[in-house]
Every structure is written in C-alpha cells, then in structure tokens.
Amino acid sequence: MLVTVGIAKCSDGRMRIEVQRPQASARAEKSYADAQAVATVLSNFGIPQNTIEYFVRLLPDLDINHVLTFPPMHVSSHQLACEDFRIAAAASGPQ
C-alpha cells in the first residue's frame, strides 16, 4: 500500500508516527516513549537507518506536533497491521 510516514514530537515528550494514504483521509498514528522504539518501527517499514537518524535528530529543534514526512513509500498492509497501524485499503477505481 502506498503511504506517507511522518514523525513528530508530542507535548508530553513522546514521539508520534503518523501513517496516511496519499490524497486520502485514511490515517493512523501511534506514540512512543523513546527514539529507539520509533527507529525500530520506521526500519520495519523499510526506511534506511541513516535517514531515520537524520529525521530523529531534527525533531528537538521543531515545534510540538510539526510533522516531518518521509517520501511516499510502499508498505504492506500486513506490516502496517503488525505495527498496529490500521488503514483502510483504497476503494477500487483510478488512483
């Protein structure tokens, strides 16, 4: 499934991962207590480690809830479900 993945820092000190289908309202998010947990999930989505480290290093300098978005990528529905991100599949028709 084609998705955009983003990360943000929350007001309570946690970090949030957001997953959304491009040009659709289907979206899921989950927050984590530390950068290592975030890095593990992002790595499981297929994002390279050096890219994850770069984005995580930028978060402290950003405003609360400002989302850094990775380029759109294909992540299997199964992998999303394994990480507890539930996003509805696209309806049939042109995309």
- Given a contact cutoff of 8 angstroms between Cβ atoms, the answer to whether 77 and 22 are in contact is no
Grade residue 86 by pLDDT with cuts at 50, 70 and 90. Answer: confident
pLDDT, residue 87, reads: 82
Task: Say if residue 42's pLDDT is above 70.
Answer: yes
Mean pLDDT of 26-33: 93
Asked if 20 and 35 touch (Cβ cutoff 8 Å), the reply is no
Q: Where are the domains of the chain?
A: 2-82
90 or 61, greater pLDDT: 61
